[in-house]
Structures are given as structure tokens and as C-alpha cells.
Amino acid sequence: MSLCLMVLFYQQRGILMIHRIDSSGFKVNYTDPNDYKAVVIRSNNPIPSQCGLFYFEIEIINEGKNGMIGVGYCTKQNNISDFMPGRKYVEDQENKENKSWGYAYHGDDGYFFCSGSGKPYGPTYTAGDTIGCYLNFRNDDKKIFYTKNGINLGIVCYLPNNLDDLKNNLYPFIGLRSQDASVEANFGRKKFKYLTMTNDDIGKELWEACWINSETIDQYVDELKNKSNDILALISRGKAYLIIGKYEEAYTALTRLLEIESENIIALKYRGEINYIMERYKESIADLENLLKIKPYDAWADEAYKLVKELNVDYIPAQITLH
């Protein structure tokens, strides 16, 4: 089942629409000369019911006048105009099951909003950034996390258990309320720019366990535990635990790998990311500094290093040249 963008709601003044979706169905522009009203665009189909993990990317082409862009998921019933994604929750009083629910990570302030309530989450984002949005349907702890330019920002929330049949009624969506803003969605029709876990990274068997037949991943990872000195097994365990949100387990596997191979760039990258997620900023910076010594022109490591340093301003860094 393919996905493309369709209008969820919009405001209209005379004959002027405040949005425009291009002919590909994946790029949308906010065309109103003002930015008084929000426009929310969702995919034409819900997330496929067989998915254990779902991912899509939004590339920010132009953040517009004020940068008010939101990326997230919503139920089909979400039809509230004038609100950016995640800022409003409505329950049909006559039909309690007809809940309008949505959440989003906002670019102008870095806040995460879920059905009306907001909290600080990650860095702001702007033109040139790519926001990845992950949804883990694998188990009872259904969780959501984002990436910015491939950097995992950590679990932001868990899906509510009181939304009936949520798995067949959840849509990727985008909200815009910024003059001249422009974004492009990728639901997999072309290669993802920053997919955390790919077939090339970890091998076909584990990739299929994570993304296709997700019920087998726990069994597969358990089997890898017996290979405590196997570099490839430790890489697979560390990355699999990272993608499903088991950060301590991922940290343990990657630390063991670095004990065996101290300059393993995969372990340094992902342990640095895990330390950042768990707010161990000094440890994260140390891993990223070691990674940059080995790969001084690594764009991901450059950006991750700058991001973590901003959060740990008292840290005195080693002599690292950023590119």
C-alpha cells in the first residue's frame, strides 16, 4: 500500500488556498501571504497493519517566516482546524470511540505536543534539516521517537492504550503555519536519507526481524547474547536494542564491543548517541571526540558533537576540528 499526502483540513479566504501539494503528492507549500491559520496534511492511507516498526522522513525545504512546522501522527478523526498538530484533543461525547488524537514535534521551539499538552523535547529545526519519525508497534510499550539529521533524540512518548484499533487508524501527518514554508515527505518511495537501521548495516535476517516480522526480534537478539565476543553479533545487538528503545541493553553490548575493539566506529557512534539520549553528555562527547579523531570529516559526528556540546556548556572539549 503506497502513501502520499492529502489535505486533512485547511482554511479558505475567498478563492485563496493556504496550501499547495505538488503533482508528486509528496511536497507541500504554505501559500497564504499571512500565517493566521494552520493547515494539516496527512497521508492518504494509514500505517500498514502488519508493521512492527514504521518510519518516515520530512525534509524541510523552507521553514518559512516563523518556522511553525509540526511532524507526527494522528487518527483519521482528527479534523480540528486552526490548530497545529498535537495542540488539540477532542472526544466525541456521543461516540466515545470516535477520538481525535494527534501528536507532533514542532520545529519553531523544539517542543513535543500530544493532544493539547506540550513539553520541551529536542532542538529546533529549519531549512536543510531532515526529521525522521519512528513508531514502534512491536509490543505493549508502543513508543515514538524522532531523529534530526540522523541523530536519535530519544523516546518522546508512549502510545495510549485507550485508543481502540489504533494500529489501523494512525496516519503520518504534517502541520504548517508559516508563510512560504515548504516540506517534502518520504514514506519509502525513495531511499531514506537517515534510516537508523538498514539491511546494509546489520544484515538481512535481523533487518527483517526488526522491520518485517517483528515478533521474531526478541528471539533473534536473545540468540546473539551467547556470542559475547563476536563483533558482528555485538553490533547487531547494540543497534537492535537502540531501535526498540532498550538503551541500557544497547549500551552494554556496545561497551563490550569497545572493550574488544576500542576504535570501532559503529560502537563509538551509537554509544555516543545512547549517552546523549540518556543525558550523559560528558560521556557522549568523549565518544564523539574519539569518533572524530578516527573520522575527522564525518558530517553526522560533527553535527552530533555540536548538539551535545550545546547541552553541556561547562564541558572542556579536547582539541577537535569541526568541519
Q: Say how far apart CA 305 and CA 323 lie, in whole Å.
A: 11
User: Cβ(117)–Cβ(156) under 8 Å?
Assistant: no
CATH architecture of 5-186: Sandwich (2.60)
| Residue 94 pLDDT greater than 80, yes or no | no
- pLDDT confidence band for 245 (50 / 70 / 90): confident
Residue type (1 letter), 128: G
Q: What is the CATH number of domain 199-311?
A: 1.25.40.10
Number of residues that this document lists for the chain: 323
Q: What is the pLDDT of residue 135?
A: 84
User: Cβ(116)–Cβ(103) under 8 Å?
Assistant: no
Where in the chain do CATH 1.25.40.10 domains reside?
199-311
Q: What is each CA distance from 100 to 87, 111, 163, in whole angstroms?
A: 11, 20, 10
- pLDDT confidence band for 159 (50 / 70 / 90): confident
Q: What is the pLDDT of residue 79?
A: 52
| Residue 9 pLDDT greater than 50, yes or no | no
Averaged pLDDT for residues 130-153: 84
Mean pLDDT estimate for the chain: 76
Q: Which of 12-16, 49-53, 227-231, 246-250 has the highest mean pLDDT?
A: 246-250
CB-facing half-sphere around the CA of 78: CA atoms within 13 A: 36
Render pLDDT for 205-231 as a digit per residue (tens, 0 to 9). Answer: 555 555 545 555 666 666 667 677 888
The burial class, CB within 10 Å (0-12 / 13-18 / 19+), for 293 is middle
For residue 83, give the nearest of 30, 36, 26, 27 by alpha carbon. Answer: 36
User: Cβ(187)–Cβ(56) under 8 Å?
Assistant: yes
Where in the chain do CATH 2.60.120.920 domains reside?
5-186
Render pLDDT for 262-312 as a digit per residue (tens, 0 to 9). Answer: 999 999 999 999 999 998 999 999 999 999 999 999 988 999 999 898 876
Q: What is the pLDDT of residue 282?
A: 92
pTM: 0.79
Nearest 5°: the CA angle 182, 192, 73 is 60
